[in-house]
Amino acid sequence: MTGASRVPAAEQTLRILTHLARHAGPLPAARIAADLGLPRSTTYHLLTVLVDAGFAVHLPEERRYGLGVTAFEVGSAYTHQDALARLARPLLARLVDSIGQSAHLAVLHGREVLYVVEERAKGRPSLVTDVGVRLPAQLTASGRAMLAALPAAQVRALFPDREAFVLRHAAGPDSPSALRRLLVDVRARGHATEDGEITPGFASVATAVLDHAGHPAAGLAITYATGDGVDRVDPARLAEATARTAREMSRRIGGRTLPG
């Protein structure tokens, strides 16, 4: 970049945004200024601009700043482009062939998940998780896997109160505290589940695909029928299968991989 084309304020703003993205949790403004060698007044001004635009969120009780919803929407935009779908499709096809159940890939878009790939197993019924469909993130296994991989402050920014929660069948977390407890369990297990909260009679298991910064680039899930009159499946086996495929996909996008 030549001296004539430099835009200091824009460069400084991008440095702050990138710095926030490289840390697992929110940071104090003074720490950001010191890490980047910026004047505190400049740092506070640029953080205010980022907050107003939704790229950052201010946590007044903690006196810290973290990434906002808009940053995640922009950051995940590349993941629902054709390149990600083309990369994921052969992996999902092999997964479906190996386990005989349908699989899909979703990306986080605000409080929703957006489905970008679906591979239906032969003879299995069609699902609501078709490409282009959006569903409440906290209800889906894919969404839960991705939310569990986010810093707690970002989850609070996405789901600050009960009004942020949408239910489909009067089931699933409907408050910040209920979601927090659910995500603790997801992190402890290493994968997410849902049973009948999207479609009665169907359950899913999912694992997050992580990018280079350890943030969730996508959620990879297997969905199967439950109840009387259907073949019983082993959810633990399906969870292991999703984890293997998610790790392979993370490697392919240059991201981090969860432990085996």
Domains 3-67 and 74-252 agree in fold: no
pTM value surpassing 0.85 = no
The residues of the chain scoring below 70 in pLDDT are: 1-7, 72-82, 125, 228-231, 256-260
What does the block give as tokens for 123? Answer: 């003879």
Q: Of 3.30.70.260, 3.30.1370.10, 3.40.605.10, 3.30.450.40, which CATH number belongs to 74-252? A: 3.30.450.40
Domain positions in the chain are 3-67, 74-252
Encode pLDDT of 51-66 as tens digits.
988 888 898 888 999 8
Please state which CATH number belongs to domain 3-67: 1.10.10.10
pLDDT tens digits along 220-253: 999 998 875 556 788 899 999 999 999 999 988 8
